[in-house]
């Protein structure tokens, strides 16, 4: 299944008050895993950048002045996402801005039913706990040290990792045995897969000097050293 993890940066909170999108970042997933294909575009908002918004993402008027306007990149954006479901953190915010820009450019808008909101998933799974992207990175031990300021592509890449954890971890669709029916549901005895023995043992990674130093250290500990005990 193809999905698109998406994020935007804007000049403010409400397109109805004249605020615009200044950056779009998107990451393609196949069966919940990144494929390496991304979409990233800075956009000239055709207005000045408020100080409060600049402090969030660091995109100022001088930087954005020579970037294309949304009307000139909207079709390419729609071509990238195609008909894939969209994965967005706080989807209502990004969707209202995207649809505002698409409508201004006389392009097809996006139904809310296409959006999976990871904020709502997180609040449902962890009620009462912080559900910001940074908080979820801490919960799942995801490195977000590069996120000094908000950035649409970086945040999409981080959200792709968070989304994978929210839907079940690193292998959400892996089912051994070719069926999703659990042993308890089917009445079968529950079995645990265990690896078989290696056909040939791995070569030792210790050097002779390291082995000798270890034996010398153990000898100093006396007969009670755990290395001298046998199971």
Residue 150 annotated among the catalytic residues of the structure = yes
Parallel, antiparallel or unpaired: strands 86-88 and 115-117: parallel
Q: What are phi and psi of 174, to 5 degrees?
A: -75, 125
Which residues share a beta bridge with 26? Answer: 6, 39
- The single residue of 32, 57, 89, 150 carrying the catalytic annotation is 150
Q: What is residue 40's three-state secondary structure?
A: strand
CA–CA separation, 33 vs 96, rounded Å? 27
Pairing of strands 33-42, 86-88: unpaired
Q: Give the whole-angstrom CA distance, residue 10 versus residue 151.
A: 10
Q: What count of other Cβ atoms lies within 10 Å of the Cβ of residue 207?
A: 9
Confirm if 105 and 136 have CB atoms less than 8 A apart.
no
Round to whole Å and give the CA distance between 166 and 144. 17
* Number of neighbours of residue 24 by Cβ within 10 angstroms: 27
The residues annotated with a catalytic role in the active site are 150
């Amino acid at each position: 299944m193809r999905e698109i993890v998406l994020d935007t940066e804007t000049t403010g909170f409400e397109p109805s008050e004249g605020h615009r999108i200044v950056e779009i970042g998107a990451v393609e997933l196949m069966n919940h895993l990144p494929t390496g294909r991304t979409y990233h575009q800075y956009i000239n908002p055709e207005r000045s950048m408020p100080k409060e918004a600049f402090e969030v993402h660091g995109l100022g008027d001088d930087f954005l002045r020579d970037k294309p306007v949304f009307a000139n990149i909207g079709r390419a954006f729609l071509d990238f996402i195609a008909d894939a479901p969209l994965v967005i953190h706080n989807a209502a915010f990004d969707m209202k801005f995207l649809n505002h820009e698409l409508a201004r450019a006389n392009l097809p808008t996006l139904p809310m039913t296409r959006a999976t909101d990871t904020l709502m998933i997180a609040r449902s799974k962890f009620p009462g706990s912080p559900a910001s992207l940074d908080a979820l990175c801490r919960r799942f031990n995801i490195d977000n040290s590069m996120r000094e300021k908000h950035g649409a592509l970086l945040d999409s890449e981080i959200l792709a990792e968070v989304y994978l954890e929210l839907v079940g971890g690193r292998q959400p669709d892996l089912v051994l045995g070719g069926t999703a029916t659990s042993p308890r549901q089917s009445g079968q005895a529950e079995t645990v897969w265990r690896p078989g023995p290696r056909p040939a043992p791995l070569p030792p990674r210790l050097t002779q000097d390291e082995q000798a130093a270890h034996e010398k250290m153990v000898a100093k500990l006396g007969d009670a050293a755990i290395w001298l005990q046998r199971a």
